[in-house]
Structure 1
Amino acid sequence: MKAVTLFMLVATLAGRASGDVPLPERSYKILMLLPVSSRSHMNIIVALAEALAQRGHKISAHFPDLPPLLDIERNQSLTLMNTHFSITTPLPLLPSQVEVGAIHCRPGKPLPQDTESWLTGAGTAGVIYFSLGSLTRGDSMLPEYLKVFLEAFRRLPQRVLWKYEGELEGASDNVRISNWFPQQDILANHNVKVFISHGGLLSLQESIFHATPLLVLPIFGDQPRNGMLVVDSGIGRVLVWEELTADRIVDTLTDIINNTKYKENVGRMSASLRDQPMTPLDRAVFWTEYVIRHRGAPQLRCPAAQLSWVEFLMLDVLGLLLLALLLLLLLIRRILRGISATLLVGSAKKKKE
């Protein structure tokens, strides 16, 4: 068994391993450095780790004497990016930069019978799914916002699945509360009309993958930017917490559900995201094992990674150009002074004559 250290940088950062990728000739020990340890962000890493483990590789040892992270980063051969051109701005990428956006997304699984029956019982009005992610607890919501949502949901014809931790008083009969729901299986259900989300990247990808329009309520981090993507792509709308009212929530949800453009737009984006020659997970597995097979794959490494920040920004070249410009200006100044002095001497001679 050969030990291989693999550093994966998952950026502006869960599954099965498909038979499309040939099995490796041997198993390896793979060290995974996880820069973010929140539950939602771990989903990306867990998907790849489980797929690699299914292929015989070994992430159960600890290595206390690691080199500095900066040295490991400079020595990396592969960057797995949690992006995809169909759901973000297309960018030119190096061969070592591989897009694996929506790596954690998967087809929906059958729901528990009681949940399935509850969704079906909503009839043609459908269901609204409400979750603010794994970091924000429902019971941490300010009372004034909680009151607004309860009033808005009471006035809607749809049923509401609300991921809410803790006890909730005053909820109407069309609202079902739980501290956890199988989110992807919920979003995959055809009767779910809208996903009310905080706009986290993973939830955004899941909603697009399952073609569910969004109502985004950004809280922090990249969520406002993701909300702008939702609006610009026409796959949903955004509301600001400070401006929330029951009327505004009802009107916005009614628009998203009744206006077919949101469902059509997210359907087209979902089709584009799904239309790939191999799944993002298979692609991540292939390139990970490619680096292993080629003993670190130095051919993938960008030479710029070895440059200092002065060299990378070409500050030395810029300094040389500025120095040359300064010398040129001094030379021009001296020439102009010489010409001026000559002209003054000539003028003085003429006056004397």
Structure 2
Amino acid sequence: MKALFIGGTGTISNAITNQLLETGCELYLLNRGNRNEHLPKGVKIIQADIQNEEQVAQLIENEQFDVVADFIAFHPSQVERDFRLFRGKTKQFIFISSASAYQTPLSDYRVTEGTPLSNPYWEYSRNKIACEEYLIKQYRDHGFPITIVRPSHTYDERSIPLGVHGRRGSWQVAKRMLENKPVIIHGDGTSLWTMTHNSDFAKGFIGLMGNIHAIGESVHITSDETVTWNQIYQTIADALGVKLNAVHVSSHFLATCDDQFTGGLLGDKANSVVFDNSKLKRLVPEFVATTRLDQGIKRTIENILAHPELQIEDPEFDSWCDKVIAALDQAVQAVKA
């Protein structure tokens, strides 16, 4: 198989890249070369900015691919560009969408690929929906061989998966735990969530590559393990070897305090979701997610503690947490007075 990944070094695509090379795939990555230093041997690089359509068209002029996958398309104009570039050059085009495109809030907590797409809270998700709609039209009108993949919350060893964190990543929350400071959990912590290790996601994704039954289909790839946010944070605290000091805060309150949480919480993590992976398992019968959350989190924590460069502090978020918690404490005292 000859495949081209646009991107190829992110949380999701990095695991696919590593596993795919073990199968003997001829793999090309098209990117700007900013994060290629840790790529495994055997990857072929097409160094270019995908936004420079004319340059990319010249570089791939004489190429044909079995699979092209775009991991960094977020806006309809970007998949329109992909259609122009790869029409007639690939047997399968895989678009990485998002499970946050599903109906929010859900009318049924069980999510299948037939769940409607609608998210009034998050522009990111609405753009992904628009991308899907454009590609489906190209499939129907022109036979463009699309497969749409919808990841949910996928993580690796480089970042701790959380519900509430600052703009500089999740380490500051772990640091608060290590310092026995209270950490914020959105809502009451009992809503249901699914996290998927990137190595498990890669198994499902590779099974869809070159799969004739996946053409024209939309498929989500997640673990079958469902946990609450309280369990997630407790698992992180256990991996750090500390006691969890949790403060539960309304998602609406958090979004009012900082609009970055409007999409990420109200449009995503504040809602209970349970994914039905039956369709994926019909298309990829061998798929099974084998990394249990506590096992994956333990590996992530161990890796981050061993690599100080991954411990990116966020004093602004730390101060913001203190202010939110203090405001809640003051409200409680005011009501009791």
The answer to whether TM tops 0.5 is: no
TM-score (norm 2): 0.30
Structure that is richer in strand per residue: 2
Structure that is richer in helix per residue: 1
